[in-house]
C-alpha cells in the first residue's frame, strides 16, 4: 500500500500552534491596553493635581503678571507631559505591532505540509469518484437523462371546487331597532 500523505498530527500541530498564538496575542494586547490606561490615568491625575495647585496659587496671587506667568508655566508643563505621553504611547504601540507580527508569522513548513496533504486527499477523492462512475463501453453513447413531463391540467381539474360560503347578514343598525 502506498504511503499516505495525510497525517492528522500535522493538522493537530497546526491548530495547536494557532491556538497558542492567539492566546499569546491576546496576552500581548491585554498588556498593551493595561499599560496604556495606567500611563494615561497617571498623567491625567498628575495634570489635574498640578492644575488645582496652580489655580490656588492664581487665586492667592496679588498681581496680574504673576498670575499670567504661573498660568503660562503650567500650560507649558502640561504640553510637555502630553507630548511625553504621546511618545510613550506611540513606542508602546510600535512594540505591540512588532510582537504581533512575530507571533503571526506563518510557519511555511506546516502550511506546505497541510497543502500537500490536502492536495493528496483531493486527488484520492477524485480518483475514487471516477472509479465509482459507470463505465461506458466503446462506441456506446452516454445515457441521456430522462425528460420530466410537465403537470397536466387533468390533475387540477379533478379536484373538487371549494364550496361557496353563505353571504353574511349585515348587522342591524341602531336606527332600525
- pLDDT tens digits, one per residue of 156-171: 555 555 566 566 665 6
Name the nearest CA neighbour of 40 among 98, 102, 79, 88: 88
Q: Answer whether residue 148 is part of any domain.
A: no
| pLDDT over 70, % of the chain | 65
Give 6 or 71, the one with higher predicted confidence.
71
Q: Please give the Cα distance from 109 to 100 (Å, whole number).
A: 20
* pLDDT band of 110, cuts 50, 70, 90: low
> How high is the pLDDT of residue 76?
93
Cell for 105?
508569522
User: What mean pLDDT is predicted for residues 15-33?
Assistant: 91
pTM greater than 0.75: no
Q: Answer whether residue 177 is part of any domain.
A: no
Q: Please give the Cα distance from 168 to 104 (Å, whole number).
A: 75
What are 114-142's pLDDT values in tens digits? Answer: 777 777 778 887 787 877 776 666 666 65
Q: Answer whether residue 108 is part of any domain.
A: yes
> How high is the pLDDT of residue 70?
87
Q: Answer whether residue 15 is part of any domain.
A: yes
> How high is the pLDDT of residue 61?
85
What are 36-68's pLDDT values in tens digits? Answer: 999 999 999 999 999 999 888 888 888 888 888
Q: Answer whether residue 157 is part of any domain.
A: no
Q: Answer whether residue 146 is part of any domain.
A: no
Q: Please give the Cα distance from 56 to 170 (Å, whole number).
A: 87
Q: Answer whether residue 168 is part of any domain.
A: no
> How high is the pLDDT of residue 81?
95
Q: Please give the Cα distance from 166 to 163 (Å, whole number).
A: 9
Residues 6+ apart with CB under 8 A from 89: 36, 39, 40
> How high is the pLDDT of residue 90?
95
Could you tell me where the DSSP H helices lie in the chain? 8-60, 64-103, 108-132, 153-157
Domain of residue 126, residue span? 8-130
Q: Please give the Cα distance from 40 to 95 (Å, whole number).
A: 17
Q: Answer whether residue 152 is part of any domain.
A: no
Q: Please give the Cα distance from 126 to 132 (Å, whole number).
A: 10
Give me the helix-helix angle, 8-60 and 64-103, nearest 10°: 180
Q: Please give the tally of structural domains in the chain.
A: 1
Amino acid at each position: 500500500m502506498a504511503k499516505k500523505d495525510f497525517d492528522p498530527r500535522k493538522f493537530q500541530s497546526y491548530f495547536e500552534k494557532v491556538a497558542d498564538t492567539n492566546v499569546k496575542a491576546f496576552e500581548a494586547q491585554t498588556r498593551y491596553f493595561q499599560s496604556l490606561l495606567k500611563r494615561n490615568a497617571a498623567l491625567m491625575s498628575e495634570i489635574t493635581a498640578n492644575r488645582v495647585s496652580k489655580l490656588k496659587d492664581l487665586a492667592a496671587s496679588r498681581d496680574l503678571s504673576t498670575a499670567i506667568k504661573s498660568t503660562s508655566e503650567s500650560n507649558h508643563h502640561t504640553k510637555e507631559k502630553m507630548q511625553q505621553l504621546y511618545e510613550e504611547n506611540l513606542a508602546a504601540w510600535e512594540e505591540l505591532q512588532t510582537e504581533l507580527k512575530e507571533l503571526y508569522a506563518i510557519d511555511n513548513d506546516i502550511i506546505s505540509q497541510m497543502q500537500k496533504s490536502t492536495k493528496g486527499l483531493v486527488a484520492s477523492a477524485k480518483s475514487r469518484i471516477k472509479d465509482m462512475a459507470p463505465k461506458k463501453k466503446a462506441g456506446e453513447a452516454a445515457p441521456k437523462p430522462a425528460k420530466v413531463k410537465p403537470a397536466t391540467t387533468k390533475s387540477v381539474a379533478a379536484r373538487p371546487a371549494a364550496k361557496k360560503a353563505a353571504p353574511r347578514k349585515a348587522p342591524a343598525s341602531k336606527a332600525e331597532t
